[in-house]
Structure 1
Amino acid sequence: MCFHVSQVKKEKELEKRFDAAFEYDGIYEPYYHFNGWENKSLYIITQDDPYIIKPSYWGLMPNNIDISERKNYLGNWNTLNARSERVLESSLFRKPTLENRCLILVSGFFEPHQFQGKKYPYFIRCKNQEAFAMAGIYNHLEDDIYTASILTTTANDYFKRVHNNPNRQGQYRMPIILDKSEEIEWLNPDLKEGDIKEQMMFSFTKEDFEDYPVSKDLFSNKIDSDRADIVEPFYYAEMHTLF
């Protein structure tokens, strides 16, 4: 599952990469590390406004829940991610999947990697270090507030190697990272339910990724890990021991 992301690209870089403009001046605040339970913003491009980049809270919420209840809601119903295989069967996720799809713009994300029984945070990014889009769904609440979830799927061999500890169901997961050629289609309002299922199954990016360990400060709630060195490689001697 994906609960930690990074977005360090400059405003103009994102606008050029996604052929879209930020909704308002001054709304973009890049970050090295965003833990999904914090109150930073994801940056999304919505199905109903495909040339505008908007801020969104992370974790889709129903329209009848006030954003002030976000912390309690996520504590009870962690919606930072949504399983693509089940969203169309969900009372919360079905309508957004059919009508409110979005691109979630990131420059990288973090996953735990297990080595000799211990967990180490790894940073994952495109080898070309370009920003990319995860498939997302959103709700538009009152006061022009957006909430969004990242769609996940069964991990491929690469991501299974990085995030190598299965969940409680014995499954390995990864976020759906859209291929550039599929980004506009994901926002297509005319997609039928069958088309959307195909998109979730077959639109994964062809880009190459790289990964490396980073500081365990990423795991700490007592240390500010939103800092430049958190996306830099960190050397763990025990991971380089030769037998």
Structure 2
Amino acid sequence: MCYKISNTADRTAIERSFDISFKYPKLHKPKPVINGLAESSVLTINQNNQSEVTLAIWGLLPESFQEDWQVYQDIKNTLNIDVEEIDQNSDYIDALQHRRCIVIVTGFFTYYLHDGELYPYYVYSETEEPFGLAAVYNELEDGFTTASILVSEANDFIKKIHNADALMPVILNKDDHNLWLDAKTESTDLELLFHTPNQLKLTAHPIAKEFHKSDIIYDSVLDPVEYKNIPNIKRIRRMD
């Protein structure tokens, strides 16, 4: 699953990469780690407003939900939705059909389990540019937007450094952004997107294990760290 992401890009880099402006430009601050297990905001491009980057609370809430975010997440973690399980929940189906969005990131995190210990990896684009993850959103009665990132089976590259589970975020190719946000896109085409290999050139490196042992964010949190007996080259490049 994907419970932490990164967005170190400034506003200019995001506007250049996505050819879009910000609705609230002063609210964006680059963050090396965005922890979904705490109530956090993510940058999104929504289906009903494709001309501006806006904010959403990470963790999908039902549109009629009126209690605190944490209350719902304690009962049902909705930071991620497995694409293979969407058809098991009518709320997810409705969001997929009518409220799709793109979550903007510069990276996400995976975990390699070895001898009973977890080793975190930071995964990002070779160019270190921001990219988009497939997501869905709900608009609450109080005006806030909440979102969930879609996950699917990990590709061969991610499997090399992620054996804690078999899932990864659905990365959208740039050419598919419009298709993902288009209200007229057929469900069969959406299904195809989930299983089309993304063209983004990914790279990754292990980072300090303190990353998942505390909520402290420090300047070097994304820096490479070398360990013995795990995939340990500083940068593992996607070869497929």
TM-score (norm 1): 0.90
In structure 2, the residue matched to 1:234 is: 225
Q: Counterpart amino acid of 1:160?
A: K
Shift of 1:82: 0.2
In structure 2, the residue matched to 1:206 is: 199
In structure 1, the residue matched to 2:29 is: 29
Q: Secondary structure at the match of 2:224?
A: coil
Q: Secondary structure at the match of 1:82?
A: strand
- Flag the 1:147–1:240 CA change in 2: closer, same or farther, 3 A: closer
What is the root-mean-square deviation of aligned Cα atoms in Å? 1.7
Q: Counterpart amino acid of 1:230?
A: V
Residues 88 and 97, structure 1, Cα contact 8 Å, conserved in 2: no
- Equivalents in 1 of 2:20, 2:87: separation in Å? 28
In structure 1, the residue matched to 2:172 is: 178
Shift of 1:69: 1.5
Note the alpha carbon deviations across 1:172-214, whole angstroms, 9 max, x for none. Answer: 1111001111111100111122222222222x42122111111
TM-score (norm 2): 0.91
Q: Which sections of structure 2, spanning at least 5 residues, go unmatched?
A: 233-240
In structure 2, the residue matched to 1:100 is: 99
Q: Counterpart amino acid of 1:120?
A: Y
Percent identity for Structure 1 against Structure 2: 28
In structure 1, the residue matched to 2:144 is: 145
Residues 13 and 129, structure 2, Cα contact 8 Å, conserved in 1: no
In structure 1, the residue matched to 2:86 is: 87
Q: Counterpart amino acid of 1:5?
A: I
- Equivalents in 2 of 1:40, 1:79: separation in Å? 13
Shift of 1:238: 6.0
Residues 125 and 209, structure 1, Cα contact 8 Å, conserved in 2: yes
In structure 2, the residue matched to 1:169 is: none
Note the alpha carbon deviations across 1:85-109, whole angstroms, 9 max, x for none. Answer: 2213312211110000011100011
Shift of 1:58: 0.6
Residues 5 and 108, structure 1, Cα contact 8 Å, conserved in 2: yes
- Equivalents in 1 of 2:24, 2:96: separation in Å? 26
